[in-house]
Structure 1
Amino acid sequence: MFFRWDWLRPVLTAPIVPTLGPVHPQAMTVDLFEDTLRAAATHRSFLRYDKDRRWSSGKEEAVLRSNVVHQPGHTLIPTLTRRGGGTVKVFAYGHRDSVIDEASELATKLAATHAAANARVVRPLGPETGCPRGTRVQLQDFTARACPDPAGPVRPVTDWPTVVQETFFSFAQAMAGEGLAFLYTRMQAGRCGPVLAAAVESRIVGAIGPMEVRGDATGCLQLMPQYFAVLPEARGQGLGRLLWRAAMHWGQSHGAAYQLLQTEVSGPSDRLCQSEGLISLGFVHTTRVQLPHPVP
């Protein structure tokens, strides 16, 4: 056992685990953190409940086991991703603001050691945080209340007439910045679950998906995160809310107990989730570390 739970638990202000992201509060155990270290020992190894298994055959991010700082009052857990020139992230768990400086120093050192072009400090913050920045972690509890079918012009893409389905490509290209172009390639390859789409006048103008339910570290079923977008010219008509409620109905109907989401604080999705009564579990604030220029 590497981590001492009596050291780690008091500084876990939000349910964020390195390489895994948000997890259900009831799944936050010392074993979960130990699992990330064991996965790092096996090259590009996925944990069986890792949400990224949907997208890749190998894990891109791994904990730098030998560089973990674990002490009473604070824990620093660095990770390395090789994609895009390489990125070192240091997850900074601790209540004192000085933990940011310590994490930045470690990130700078490890970026040089691993020739990584980028370095970040990731700090989870509790739900009571005033003036939060970054992303909010939210919980949709499907066991708390019913999520009825909202009806309206929303159905799986494959249930729309062919002439409507064919408009998904142009929609996906227009919303490439929201990940829809990538999602389209997965749909064409038959490598993801259903995608729900909203259509107006025989043209797809919004979508959410893929819809997939998988077990978490405890075996509890969760609705996995989705890509979600509505064309700018189609906003303000309530289509985003219809898509969201249709997705929640799908998740509950397919046995999911909950869903975890990350939304940009004060962004459209954040305001939607807050208005729909989701539970705020905390925030994640990511800071870019300015690296020194390499010596010629």
Structure 2
Amino acid sequence: MFFRWDWLRPVLTAPIVPTLGPVHPDALTVDVFEDVMRAAVTGDFLPYDKDRRWGGEKNETVLRGYVVHQPEQTLVPTLTRRGRGTVKVFAYGHHRRVVDEAAELAAKLAAAHDAANARVVRPLGPETAHPRGTRIQLKDFTTGPCPAPDGPVRPLPDWPAAVQETFAPFAAAMAADGLAFLHTQMQVGRCGPVLAVAVEDRIVGAIGSLEVRPDAIGRPQLMPQYFAVLPEARGQGLGRVLWRAAMHWGQSYGASYQLLQTEVGGPSDRLCQIEGLTSLGFSHTTQAQRAPRPLVTGGHCSDNN
């Protein structure tokens, strides 16, 4: 065993796991953290990793030799080689100095691995006053029905060909929301259904892909989607129609729940709050100043066997 659960559990203020992101509170176990550590050696996707559906290789891995695991804090650094490289340190702990220590470790590791970015990811509980960053929200499909909404929303292939052709420029316009990536995955057949809403024969919003997969404890989860509406089409309720259609799809295909990440105060965040989702906490990411010289040794590791 790498982690002591009696040390780790008290500092897990929000259900966030390095390299995996948010998980259902029931799946937040020491076994999941141990799985992540083993995956750092093999480089393989975990069976329940949400990124597995896109194929390829896992881009983010734990730097297990530099994990700090102590009674009052746990720091877990990860490295992403995408772009110019990013080191993130997940900072679990209640005391204020945990962020400073995480920032120092992130900066040193970024220099050691020639990564351009160094960041600290701080999980915060749902009771946090004046939260910033990303809110983690839970949609529980077992508490009641999700009826099919009225409105101009259909699976993309059900629209006329001329309307379907407008998806490409829509996706390009909403690249910052992940729609260009989604479009690429659609073209190579790596994703499930995508729902689209059209106005005057033009796609103005979409959500997808829609897939249900088992989580770490075998419960069926509606996987996260990319979701966007063109700015000029907002304020007409189209986002709510799309989201409700996706929730209806998920419940219809047997999902028990979905986890959503929304920017605090953003349109999706307000929508989820209006829809009555449960807030599980927050993830706040800050930049760390990269150190001028590399880290010499990996003396931070505490392996509890």
Which category describes the TM-score, using the shorter chain as reference length? over 0.9
Q: Deviations over 1:117-155 (max 9, x none)?
A: 111000000000000000000000000111000021001
Tell me the equivalent position of 2:205: 206
Tell me the equivalent position of 2:196: 197
Give distance in 1, aligned partners of 2:169 and 2:100.
Answer: 45
Q: Aligned ranges for residues 141-220 of structure 1 at < 5 Å?
A: 141-220=140-219
Give distance in 2, aligned partners of 1:75 and 1:293.
Answer: 25
Matched, 1:96 2:87: no
User: Identity rate of aligned residues, in percent?
Assistant: 76
Tell me the equivalent position of 2:260: 261
Q: Deviations over 1:85-112 (max 9, x none)?
A: 2111100000011100110111112112
Contact kept, 8 Å, 2:108 with 2:293, in 1: the verdict is no
Code of the residue aligned with 1:268 in structure 2: it is: P
Tell me the equivalent position of 2:139: 140
Matched, 1:221 2:209: no
Code of the residue aligned with 1:278 in structure 2: it is: L
Report the Cα offset of residue 294 of structure 1.
Answer: 6.8
Q: CA RMSD in A?
A: 1.2
Give distance in 2, aligned partners of 1:191 and 1:284.
Answer: 28
Q: Aligned ranges for residues 81-92 of structure 1 at < 5 Å?
A: 81-92=80-91
Contact kept, 8 Å, 2:111 with 2:291, in 1: the verdict is no
Q: Deviations over 1:197-253 (max 9, x none)?
A: 001111111100001111100110100111111111111110000000000000000
- TM-score by length of structure 2 reads 0.94
Report the Cα offset of residue 293 of structure 1.
Answer: 5.2
Report the Cα offset of residue 45 of structure 1.
Answer: 1.1
Tell me the equivalent position of 2:283: 284
Q: Deviations over 1:133-187 (max 9, x none)?
A: 0000000000011100002100100011112111111211221221111211211
Give distance in 1, aligned partners of 2:282 and 2:203.
Answer: 33
Report the Cα offset of residue 57 of structure 1.
Answer: 1.7
**Which range is displaced more, 175-184 or 84-93?**
175-184
Matched, 1:18 2:18: yes
Tell me the equivalent position of 1:65: 64
Tell me the equivalent position of 2:123: 124
Code of the residue aligned with 2:104 in structure 1: it is: E
Code of the residue aligned with 1:65 in structure 2: it is: R
Q: Deviations over 1:1-35 (max 9, x none)?
A: 11000000000000000000000000000000000
In structure 2, runs of 5+ residues without a counterpart are: 295-305
- TM-score by length of structure 1 reads 0.97
1:192 is paired with a residue whose SS is coil
Greater RCO, CA 8 A, separation 6+:
2
Contact kept, 8 Å, 2:13 with 2:125, in 1: the verdict is yes
In structure 1, runs of 5+ residues without a counterpart are: none
1:277 is paired with a residue whose SS is coil
2:189 is paired with a residue whose SS is coil
Tell me the equivalent position of 1:31: 31
Give distance in 1, aligned partners of 2:199 and 2:212.
Answer: 28
Give distance in 2, aligned partners of 1:102 and 1:292.
Answer: 13
Tell me the equivalent position of 2:230: 231
